Structure 1
Amino acid sequence: MKLPFLRRILSPRLNMQGKIFIAFGLAALLSIVSVTSIIYMNMRETIKDNAVTSVLDSIRQADESANIMLQEIDRLNTVVVTNKYAVIDTILSPSEEISYEWFQEQKLITGFLSGLIDYKPYITRIAVVGLNGKVFFSGGPWLDRTFLETPMMDYMLNNGSRHAYFKPQGSADAITVGREIRYDREAIGVVMVDLNYDFIKKTYGVKPTEDSLLYVLDEQNGFVYQTEPTSTGAPGQETLVKLKHQFAGQGDAAEKTIGGRSYIVVSRQSAYTGWTTLALIPTDSLLSESARIRNLMIEVSVVVFIVVLFVSLQMSSRTTIHIRRLKSMMSRVKEGNLDFPRTEIKSKDEIGELNQVFIGMVEELKSLMEDIRMSEREKREAELTALQAQIRPHFLYNSLNTIKYLAKLNGVPNIEEASGALIELMRGVLGNSNEFLTVREELDYVFSYVAIEKYKFLAPIRVETQVEDESLLECRVLKLMLQPLVENAIIHGVGPSEQGGVVLIRVYEEQEILKIEVTDNGQGMTKERMEILLGQPGTEEKPSRFSGMGVSNVHERIHRMYGDPYGVKLYSEPGLYTKAEIWFPRLPDTENNPKEVLSHVPSAAS
């Protein structure tokens, strides 16, 4: 790695290359750790499963081998207990020891027993013990009538209905298989065969690891077989008995902690003998090979991670070199240098396209800068023109004030009134830039308009107002909503009438809706004319001569601002009257703030 790059990486503010490098590194590290961990954990579980499967197979084969030998011994016992001539009659014979008849019987039964165990090296002794004290055996060790007083004799008599399997106490070289001899439904003795213990050791010598332990317990929880522990801390008989009762299946396995050490315990119970085999495999010994593989995987992962870091460094450098070039050009533009030398980026990806867009943007920026210089020049010229135009309204107001003053000096009140009304009306139209006015201000503009308009007609024009509540005069409405309707009532309503006309302006509230009615007693109008005034589709209205907007404009402005049901509604009877209703939401005085005005619109307006 280069030192400048390290300085960029370790700087408090990472650049894009550093971010890409770190992102690649973190992604690679996370991937490598995840994959390595998953492989290692799966390998551990696979080793455990394979060990359990192997031990269960070995135990099953050992049980089957032992069962074959025990079944053979059971058959021999069956032959003995069913032989009446050589066994039963000999036991029931009244002859006593040290007599000729006793020697003959001894020779007969001993020859019979010897013939049964010949060529069977896994049998060390076969014996028949009568309850009357007669003892006959073939093989070793020696056996006499004292055996009648032993617990083994009691056990075989108590379990004589089936075969009795057990390891004699104090004996380390035989497994005794016994069965009682019955005659005339009464027990008369037992037959027992001793199985060579070396065959048991060879059969159950299953050790997956050097320090594995294997125990075979009979139904009385006695040891049939046990391996010699290679280290201290082997479980005692009480612990093994508890383990035996925890497993009930034919092939169960679980991980247990015994004496502070973790073991994989495998249990299997023989269906033939009832013996339970417990195999204890130390987990650390079993997984010692996996630890070596784990260390190897860590070393490989470190090498792979270093390679990925190097590759990501190269990729991030190649990816960001064009971005750094773009950044350099943008810095020059930021400094105001638009005529910098162009760096050619030939890549066909998004960065190349970004370079083309940036170059185009710079060219467009140069063009815009030139346009701005031109517009600034034109703006200064426009400001001069606006300054000159600003003089004209002031000149008009001053001129009208002069006319009003001269009319007053010369005693011409009508000219004084008309010029004063015109001044007020023009101030409202040209001088007031507010979008919203109070109802009171709207009425003032209407009165100024009427003061001018009445001099056009010979007959007087009466404009009356009715206000239901004085507080309604302070409600806010859109500017110049009332004057076009009054103008329409005067010009098209009471104006053509030869008799004096009356225009009634009524202000009232109904269901939180501010309503302003403009009613005249003129000639009225037809339905078609009302549709034209409201600007129905297919119709066209000429604008008002004074305001430049007609009834349809008023309706459209209100409807667009507030929605339904607000706007203008017309009612008329030809030759009788015309009434125009303006529906506003009742809005308080909010000092002409449009947002505050609209926030008070009732929910009826959509």
Structure 2
Amino acid sequence: MLFRKDFKFSILTKLIFAFLLVITPLYGLNLMMNKEGALSVNKEISKSMASQTDFYLSSLETEISRTVSLQKELINQKNLVRLSAVGDAMTDYERSQAILTVLNQMNVIRSTGSFIQSVSVYIPIIRRTLTTGSSPIDSLSEEDFEILFQSSMKSDSPIIQWKEGMLSTVVYPPMQLPNQKSPVFMISVDFSFAKIKESLLHFIDYARGGAMIVHPNWTIANFKALNPIDRQTLVQTLVGESGIKRIELDREKFMTVRNRSGLLDAYLVILVPENEIFGTLIKYKYWFWLLCGISIVIILFFSFWIYRFIHQPLHKLVRSFRQLEDGNLQVTIIQNRNDEFDYLYKQFNAMVEKLRITLREVYEQKIRAQRSKLKQLQSQINPHFLYNSFFILNEMVQKYDDEQLDQFSGNLGKYFQYITRNAMDHATLETEVDHVRAYTYIQQTRFSKRLRVFFGELPDAIKPMRVPRIILQPIVENAFRYGMDQKLAGGILHISFVEQDDVVVLKVEDNGEMLEDAQLLQLQQQLIHYTDGMESTGIINIHHRLQIMYGSGAGIRLSRSEYGGLSVEIRIMKEGGYHVQDHDRGR
């Protein structure tokens, strides 16, 4: 995880998302335009191919129709009528002249059509066939004549298949007379399959595919690179209604256009490979996907560039700020850059250094304030205690009580030695308690007839614990001053020590009778709502010092004691105040 959970999206994610948000609609629009263009071109190509088939078929039908019309005009040629009627009775010269005239007319018919191989006239009476071929006059094959005659009479179409082509035949008379077994003559025009096939080849200019004319009885086909099996499959598949159809031959897709000729009773079929028709569109499609792939690579490179040159340095800076938030003031960003992040890193390091200096100054200021508080507390020691101590010492000297004098003077020395050691802000709890024992001995010597002091046992585990100096003695002094000063006899002062899980409690209780509930409540409120502007007493001063060093869990707690007087609890945390202790060790 690059960032913490409160960062739902990193800047890198947002930048990539924004980039995709901008580029995706453009690619979508481009793809849609590409598809629409492909459909439009596909439609236009299909219409163009359909138009080509219509034009070719119309041209072929027009030529055949014109040829049939010329055939019918040839019927009325008088020389042809004379040859078919009295040709055997004509002189050779007359017959030759008539034949030449008919042949000239037949050559005119032949020259009008590009697909006409030859024009022939079958004349049974002279047993000859006039033709525009290499031999103008051939012998008539009665068998062929009969086949042609019967085929022409049976077919509704003017076109019949004959050998290597197709024939357009006209019989005269058009209907058989009752006693007529054969026609007077028959005109046929031979349309060459080879020429039609060649025209189909020129009709479609593609490397594969081609065109064909399919009749129930015959087929003219011209295909490039198409095997016979595929041709047969094509013929079986495409005969049917006119229209455009897509098929697959030999794992290759083709587009076919079919158009029916009513004159020929046949279909014209065009077969074109789709990859040749739409090759350019397919190439554009490939270019489009190549562009998409290149764009993805660019996006990935751009994302990596952002990650490398923006995201990583920014993440390093954010991570350093997180460490700083966690209290690590030793964090430093090592930079080796020549951009804006170099300035940010330097400013961050300078900020952390200034923060360390500022915190050090704050700590030192707090320590000086604590020392000031301590000195203020020490200055609050009633000088009357010093005077009274010397008066007691004078009385004891006058009585020559050597043993008591020795103990008294020793405790008095310990007391002033501890008080005057201003250089130390902390001491062990054992030392602080010994100081209070010396103080209570001195006071008990003075008030020996009026009070008794009970000291609880200090647990060994907390004896080495370091605590602020002079926090217990002012509390005990307060008990002597306000709790026992007016008590002539039966005074009790109880000092105990309690060790809990995370706190040590020093408890001072007395049985003074001067404390009223209103006074107790007022003292409690002063501890809770203490401010720097308020006049501080010894108890408030100590409470404030402890909270500065150990936090809100430490301090003074006031309540009514079980002996009837005031109960003061000094709460000191076992862990805390490390900056103060570290400072002492540095001294």
TM-score normalised according to structure 2 size? 0.46
TM-score by length of 1: 0.44
CA radius of gyration, larger in: 2
